[in-house]
Amino acid sequence: MSFSRDFTVQFGHCDPAGIIFFPRYFEMLNATVEAFFAEALNYSFTRIHIDEGCGVPTAHLDVDFRAPSRLADILTFTLNVVRIGGSSASFETRVTCGEELRMTVRQVIVWTGPGLRPARWPAGLAVALGAHLTGEEAAT
Ligand SMILES: CC(C)(COP(=O)(O)OP(=O)(O)OC[C@H]1O[C@@H](n2cnc3c(N)ncnc32)[C@H](O)[C@@H]1OP(=O)(O)O)[C@@H](O)C(=O)NCCC(=O)NCCSC(=O)c1cc(O)c2ccccc2c1O
């Protein structure tokens, strides 16, 4: 099951060349992941970070920029969970503007407990992530 979020490219997202500056994509990506945890997994960043003193830092990012984005473009970030490990999970996010592919991201996040050490996914969160698993692992 995919999770999607739309962002409109604003003036402040763009560089003097008139295209989106790449760190702004990563902020949108993080906003997508944050919304995915809150809305799809019912496990907000406030609960993770403030209430439980845990975290989900990104350990790995693999990114391809396929076409530039410009002011007023409406970008759709579509996130899929493609792997769930003991303490990590892999997300794949496609960024499109209409039919055009703008960026693809493969991201590994790691559940961390106190002291930012890796820890096994809490059982309920693993189940919630599993409900969103797509691809080969979901079929097995
Ligand atoms: C991330 C670490 C805490 C991992 O610690 P360590 O390297 O000791 O991990 P292990 O070897 O024990 O492996 C545990 C687990 O992780 C997988 N893994 C580890 N490294 C990688 C990697 N480079 N690529 C892919 N996978 C990796 C490993 O396979 C194991 O998986 P299992 O499923 O088998 O258990 C540590 O490396 C660390 O602290 N790194 C620095 C993290 C960091 O600074 N990231 C950038 C800034 S943080 C950030 O951007 C961010 C912060 C948040 O709070 C977020 C919250 C929510 C969403 C996103 C956030 C976010 O992006």
Strands (E), the chain: 3-8, 58-65, 74-84, 88-97, 100-110
**Any atom of ligand 1 within 6 Å of the Cβ of 118:** yes
pLDDT digits over 66-115, tens only?
Answer: 999 999 999 999 999 999 999 999 999 999 999 999 999 999 999 999 88
**Any atom of ligand 1 within 6 Å of the Cβ of 109:** yes
Please give the tally of structural domains in the chain.
Answer: 1
Which CATH number do you get for residue 117?
Answer: 3.10.129.10
SS3 69: coil
138 within a domain of the structure (yes/no): no
32 within a domain of the structure (yes/no): yes
Ligand 1 center to residue 39 CA distance, Å?
A: 23
37 within a domain of the structure (yes/no): yes
**Any atom of ligand 1 within 6 Å of the Cβ of 53:** no
81, two tokens = 């969970």
Q: In DSSP terms, which residues pair with 95 in a beta bridge?
A: 77, 103
What ipTM, to 2 d.p.? 0.92
Ligand 1 center to residue 80 CA distance, Å?
A: 18
Ligand 1 center to residue 13 CA distance, Å?
A: 27
23 within a domain of the structure (yes/no): yes
**pLDDT bracket for residue 140 (50, 70, 90):** very low
* Parent domain of 71: 3-132
140 within a domain of the structure (yes/no): no
62 within a domain of the structure (yes/no): yes
20 within a domain of the structure (yes/no): yes
